[in-house]
Amino acid sequence: MNKTFEYVPPKVWTWDRPSGGRVANINRPVSGPTHEKALPVGKHPLQLYSQGTPNGQKATIMLEELLAAGHTGAEYDAWLIQIGEGDQFGSGFVEINPNSKIPAMVDRSGPKPVRVFESGAILVYLAEKFGAFLPTTQPARAECLAWLFWQVGAAPYLGGGFGHFYKYAPTKIEYAIDRFAMESKRQLDVLDRQLANYAYVAGDSYTVADIAVWPWYGGLVLGTLYNAAEFLSVKDYTHVLRWAHAIAERPAVQRGRVVNQTDDSNKVLRERHDAADFDAVAWKERKAKSA
């Protein structure tokens, strides 16, 4: 067991070598565009620019839930922004998200386009626009927003911390994995205690809090995120598991989670421009099963 490190930080940090690992080519210590590239615009009122990571899934699950609930104004085009290729640094994307992270959305339904970035802000914007999945009276609204902000604050520990050091970092660093495994398990325990008392994250109804939390913690306990279910002993979080399975059954969640995915499985829809696009995914799945 080696808990000592030889690296001694210099007086001033400089960016003079790639950090290594899977995200090395997209990490930069500066913001702003690296190249000129306009964003495409489709036929629907809402234009989403994203990739099917957990943060991206929050937006597409919300849009699919709105459509499933009959809000036809939530029709959307979902364009793929490949973050591994640096698409988030194109000039058009930076115009709608100066922070260069997916997801980002433009609402073109009004006289002037409205840009919205940050997944939590997108969920609240859509919830308010359509009057859905966010309680309008207190204390339910405060509780829902508290859990939504909890998730947005918790994600960097799970993703940037645990996921990064457990799965993506070029070397396995025990100190870093210990620190973030501990925090991820603590967060799972927070959720487990809440879900022991309530059907959903913010109480008795399905809200944007569930839509935000599920792609992260649902993915973790269902084993689809970081392949860490055994490592984190997720079987111990029985209430989170019960909730995660129930949300996974929702047809809108099943649709939203495949949008803007880029892996090689059959359950991917690189871009979504029409409800019928999902038929192609189902068709590919059927074909794969019969092969």
- Positions touching ligand GSH (CB under 6 A) are 26, 53, 55, 83, 88, 100-102, 118-120, 152
Residue among 102 and 258 whose Cβ is closer to ligand GSH = 102
Q: Please provide residue 161's backbone torsions phi and psi, each rounded to the nearest 5 degrees.
A: -95, -80
Residue among 45 and 86 whose Cβ is closer to ligand GSH = 86
In the complex, the smallest distance separating the C-beta of residue 136 from ligand GSH, rounded to whole angstroms, is 24
Residue among 152 and 190 whose Cβ is closer to ligand GSH = 152
In the complex, the smallest distance separating the C-beta of residue 138 from ligand GSH, rounded to whole angstroms, is 25
Distance CA 155, CA 57 (A): 13
Distance CA 65, CA 68 (A): 5
Q: Please provide residue 35's backbone torsions phi and psi, each rounded to the nearest 5 degrees.
A: -155, 160
- Scored b (16 or more CB within 10 A) or e, 95-119 reads ebbeebbbbbbbbbeeeeeeebbbb
The sign of the torsion formed by the CA atoms of 243, 248, 252, 257 equals positive
Residue labelled with tokens 């799965």: 167
In the complex, the smallest distance separating the C-beta of residue 83 from ligand GSH, rounded to whole angstroms, is 4
In the complex, the smallest distance separating the C-beta of residue 169 from ligand GSH, rounded to whole angstroms, is 15
Residue among 169 and 199 whose Cβ is closer to ligand GSH = 169
In the complex, the smallest distance separating the C-beta of residue 8 from ligand GSH, rounded to whole angstroms, is 28
Residue among 58 and 250 whose Cβ is closer to ligand GSH = 58
